[in-house]
Amino acid sequence: MKFNEQQKTPLFAALKKYVEDKTISFHVPGHRGGRGIPEFCDFVGENIMSIDVTSGILDLDTICNPLGVIHEAEDLAARAFGADHAHFLVNGTTSGIQAMILSVAGPGDEIIVPRNAHRSVVGGLILSGVHPVYIKPVINDYMGIAMGITADSVRRALVEHPNAKAVFVINPTYYGVASDLKKIVEIAHSYGKPVIVDEAHGAHLGFHPDLPMSAMQAGADMSAASMHKLAGSMTQSSILLIKSDLIDDRRVKAAMNLTQTTSPSYPLMASLDVARRQMAINGRQMLDVTIERCERARRLLNDINGIYVMGHDVEGTEGCFAYDPTKLAINLRELGLSGFETEKLLKYKYHIQMELSDLYNVLAVGAIGDSEESISALIAAIRDIALKYSRKNVIKISAELPENQEMVVSPRFAFYSEKRVVPLEEAEGEISTEMLMAYPPGIPILCPGERITREVIEYAKALNSEGCHLQGTEDPDAKSIKVLADIESVKYYERIKQVV
C-alpha cells in the first residue's frame, strides 16, 4: 500500500466539484438538493442533501459497471486492504455475503458453513439453492455464546463432503472471537476449495498488528466487510474484497448486480471513500487509542464484583485462536441479571445504548469514535448496576444453547414449499420453513428446513421470558411458526434430490 496515493478520495472529490459547479439538476432524486424536503434538509444539512445524486451522471460514474471515479475509489480500497479487487456495497454486508455465495455455488451444490452464521447467509442459501453443510462452533458455556470453528472441524467436513464448493468462515464473531483463519485457508486450499469470509465485524482488522488477522492477510479468497460498523463510514456501506486464483471477479460482479440496487446512495459511497483514506493513513494511530481505552475498560470492569469481561484470556482455548480487544462482552450472570434486563437499565436509567444483549451478556462495541467520557460513563453505570440491582445467588437463567438441528430439507425448498401454521409450543418434530432468531446478533436459533426440537422451543421461551423480542417468523410475536404442510413434502424433496 502506497500512503501517498491513499491520500486521494476520487469519488468524494468528484461529488464536491459537482456541487461547487452549481449544476442545475433535472435528474432524480426529486428533492433537488434538499429544497423539496426542507424540514429534513434543515435537520441533516444542505451538504449531505447536495451530494445525494443519482447514478450515471457524467463524471460521477455508475455502480453497476464502474469505469470512472467509483472504479478509481474501489481500486484504492483494494490496495488499502491488500486485495486484488474491491467493490463498494450500499446494501450492507448482507448483499456481499449473498453475492459471495451466488458466485461460488449453484442449486444443489454444497458449501461448508458455521451454524452460527448470520441470517444473511440463510438468505443467500435460499436465493442460490445451495445446501449448507453446517459445522458446529465451539460453545462457551459460561458466556452462553458460540465461539469460532476449529481447523479440524473444517478438515472433517471437507473429507465427508468432497464436492463442497467453498468454506464459509466468520472473522471475527459478533463477540470478537476469531478462528485460526490462516490454518483453515491452508486446509481448504489443499482441497482446491475457496474460502469466503463474513467480516461484518472485522473491517478494521488489517490496520493494526494487535488485532486478529484479516481475511486478506490470512489468504482467504473473498470477504465482505462492514466498513460502517468499525471503520467509520455511514450505516449500510460495506465493501467486498477479492484476492483469489479460484474465483473470477467478473462472476462476483455479475452476482452482485443481481441483488444490489441500480440507484446507489452517493453519500454512502463517498463515506466509504473517505473512511478508506482515513483507515489507510491514520487507522493505526486511531486504533491504538481505541484498543487502549477498551483494555482499560476491561480491567476496570473485571474489578467489579460479579462482572466478567472476556478478553485475551480466552485466546488459545478451543474455538478461539485470537480475540478482538475492541469488543467488551460484559457477563452478568453472577449478579443474577440477564443481559436483556441490563440493556434496559443502561438505556433507560443511564442513557447508554449497548450493541446487543443476550441471556447472560451485554455487548459494547469499542470504536474509533469513542471518547474517554463515553467509556467512563459505561464503567460507572455497570459499577452502579452491580451495586444497586444485583440479586446474588439467584439462579435465574438456566436455558442451554440448543444443539445443531437436523436439516431435513434445503432452506430453498422449505422457503418455497406448501406450509401450515402451528403454535411454536406445539411444533416439536415439525420442519420449520422460517427462521427464528434474536436480532441482534441475527444468528438463527432455527433455520428453514430444520426439524424443531423441544430444546429450541424451551430456549425460545427462555429468551421471551427475559424480554427478548424474537424475529424471523411472519408472526411478529413468534408465538406461531410456519412448518412444512405434510410428510409428502419431505418425500417429494427426497425424490427430486436423487434426480439432481
- CATH classification of the domain holding 343: 3.90.1150.150
Domain of residue 427 covers 411-499
Would you place residue 367 in the very low, low, confident or very high pLDDT band (cuts 50, 70, 90)?
A: very high
pLDDT at 403: 77
Last residue of a domain, one of 219, 254, 280: 280
Q: Same structural domain for residues 263 and 184?
A: yes
> What is the tens place of the pLDDT at every residue in 78-135?
999 999 999 999 999 999 999 999 999 999 999 999 999 999 999 999 999 999 999 9
pLDDT at 486: 82
Of the listed ranges 314-323, 345-354, 404-413, the least confidently predicted one is 404-413
Q: Same structural domain for residues 184 and 315?
A: no
The structural domain count of the chain equals 3
Is residue 410 predicted with pLDDT exceeding 70?
yes
Last residue of a domain, one of 344, 373, 388: 388
pLDDT at 2: 76
Q: Same structural domain for residues 17 and 110?
A: yes
Residue 397 included in any domain: no
> What is the tens place of the pLDDT at every residue in 436-475?
998 888 888 999 999 999 999 999 988 888 888 899 999 9
Q: Same structural domain for residues 354 and 488?
A: no
Would you place residue 400 in the very low, low, confident or very high pLDDT band (cuts 50, 70, 90)?
A: low
Would you place residue 492 in the very low, low, confident or very high pLDDT band (cuts 50, 70, 90)?
A: low
Residue 401 included in any domain: no
Q: Same structural domain for residues 67 and 211?
A: yes
Q: Same structural domain for residues 167 and 51?
A: yes
Would you place residue 208 in the very low, low, confident or very high pLDDT band (cuts 50, 70, 90)?
A: very high
- CATH classification of the domain holding 484: 3.90.100.10
Residue 103 included in any domain: yes
pLDDT at 441: 86
- The average confidence (pLDDT) of the chain is 94
Cell numbers for 182, please give them.
Answer: 490462516
- Contact criterion met (CB below 8 Å) for 230 and 172: no
Residue 406 included in any domain: no
pLDDT at 495: 63
- Three-class DSSP category at 145: strand
Q: Same structural domain for residues 163 and 272?
A: yes
Average pLDDT on 238-251 reads: 97
Of the listed ranges 183-197, 270-284, 362-376, 439-453, the least confidently predicted one is 439-453
pLDDT at 157: 98
pLDDT at 393: 57
Average pLDDT on 214-238 reads: 97
Residue 398 included in any domain: no
Q: Same structural domain for residues 140 and 228?
A: yes
Instruction: Give percent of the chain with pLDDT exceeding 70.
Output: 96
Q: Same structural domain for residues 119 and 161?
A: yes
Last residue of a domain, one of 280, 306, 338: 280
pLDDT at 493: 65
Q: Same structural domain for residues 123 and 254?
A: yes
Average pLDDT on 370-376 reads: 97
pLDDT at 479: 93
Instruction: Give percent of the chain with pLDDT exceeding 90.
Output: 87
Residue 467 included in any domain: yes
Is residue 396 predicted with pLDDT exceeding 70?
no
| Top-confidence range, 234-238, 337-341, 477-481 | 234-238
> What is the tens place of the pLDDT at every residue in 2-19?
778 899 999 999 999 999
Would you place residue 391 in the very low, low, confident or very high pLDDT band (cuts 50, 70, 90)?
A: confident
Q: Same structural domain for residues 482 and 380?
A: no
Residue 486 included in any domain: yes
Rounded Cα distance between 236 and 338, Å, is 30
Q: Same structural domain for residues 259 and 382?
A: no
Rounded Cα distance between 217 and 205, Å, is 9
pLDDT at 56: 85
Residue 399 included in any domain: no
